[in-house]
Amino acid sequence: MLPAEPKIFHGRDSELANILKLFRQGTPRIAILGAGGMGKTSLARTVIHHEEVATKYHGNRFFVPCDTASSKPELAGLIGAHLGLKSGKDLTRAVLQHFSSSPASLLILDNLETVWEPTKSREDIEEFLSLLTDINSLALVITMRGAERPSKVQWTRPFLLPLLPLAQDAARKMFLDIADDKHLIEDVDQVLSLTDNMPLSISLLAHLADIEGCKDILFRWGTEKTTLISEGCDRSSNLELSISLSLSSPRIASTPQAQDLLALLSMLPDGLSDVELRQTKFPITDILGCKATLLRTALAYTDGHKRLKVLVPIREYIGKLLPPTEEMMQPMFKHFHELLEAYKATAGTRLCRGPINRITSNYTNIQNILQNGL
């Protein structure tokens, strides 16, 4: 049985159109990527129910949540169960034979990172995916947190970019669909500012606002932060659990100081440029490698000005869970102090333009550090 089609779905028209275009061109292999809570599963569920897709694949559409799998045989078993195959020790061959002898089919593997992430199973999973995509009649869509596609698969081009936060208008529509339109838009926008327009955060806060009102939510956030929306028991209803799954990624474990960089970024709403990452001389070995790890796991992103940033909900959670050490903070203090001194030394001259631009880029960073008494 397929999961229900999302009833509230806004802001992904472009991504949906791009996916449907790939389906029209043939038998696609698509990876839907992005941070946890960014709406990957909702997009995949919308795709599988879309009229064009339903018409093309009829009853040969399969949506398989991969959360419980930890190995290739377990993944094959989950797929086999959805296909109605007789259970067995390893259904890999049976699954491949089933799809090879079936009419055109669509297989969606949701939250595939659960079984792909561990290095001990990654090669087997990638080999299994490769064998699946050798079947010409099988369309494959996966959802994975992060920004990295499994190898050994010729993913259909153009690649779908990792999902970004919703545009403000779409975020408002999503919020009001859940919390009704009884709230002042100014209050709604204030609540949305706490979410950075991350769909999971919007959904959880909107459900609370429907009961408590926006003003109470804003008041409670001041003390409770992300704990306010972390009472659920799974990744779709508990923001902190969703973020912690990304933090426990083997990719993070293999680059331990990536967490140190993430902790620093949790204090810096404006983020940092590559130049600042290098010049600030944080005690982090291979800081650009750590940056790459955060991007690969979608715990951080680069904005339009190529500054490395972290979304508000992740910043709030990391700031509470993993505050940066004094050793990490000292180079940042020194960097901002030198920046302000450079402005003082050049104020009123043509040379002050450089320091002013750099201060402007870091204005909220400096303000946040001062507000937190650091």
pLDDT digits (tens, 9 = 90+) for 148-158: 999 999 999 99
How many CB atoms within 10 Å of residue 275?
10
Q: Would you say 67 and 111 are in contact if contact means Cβ atoms under 8 Å apart?
A: yes
Closest CA to 106 of 26, 162, 186, 185: 26
**pTM of the prediction?**
0.93
Q: Would you say 198 and 35 are in contact if contact means Cβ atoms under 8 Å apart?
A: yes
pLDDT digits (tens, 9 = 90+) for 231-264: 888 888 999 999 999 999 999 999 989 999 999 9
Sequence-distant (6+) residues with CB within 8 A of 26 are 156
Q: What is the pLDDT of residue 9?
A: 97
pLDDT above 90 for 74 = yes
pLDDT digits (tens, 9 = 90+) for 131-150: 999 999 999 999 999 999 99
- What is the C-alpha separation between 220 and 366, in angstroms, rounded? 25
138-145 vs 105-110, strand pairing mode: parallel
pLDDT above 80 for 374 = no
pLDDT digits (tens, 9 = 90+) for 30-67: 999 999 999 999 999 999 999 999 999 999 999 999 99
191-196 average pLDDT score: 97
Q: What is the pLDDT of residue 233?
A: 82
- What is the C-alpha separation between 25 and 360, in angstroms, rounded? 46
pLDDT above 90 for 181 = no
First and final CA of the chain: distance in angstroms?
A: 54
pLDDT above 70 for 345 = yes
User: Distance from CA of residue 227 to its chain's centroid?
Assistant: 19
pLDDT above 80 for 359 = yes
Closest CA to 337 of 308, 365, 305: 365
DSSP assignment letter at 160: P
- What is the C-alpha separation between 294 and 317, in angstroms, rounded? 15
pLDDT above 70 for 12 = yes
Q: What is the pLDDT of residue 231?
A: 85
Q: What is the pLDDT of residue 210?
A: 93
pLDDT digits (tens, 9 = 90+) for 206-233: 999 999 999 999 999 999 999 999 988 8
Q: What is the pLDDT of residue 263?
A: 97
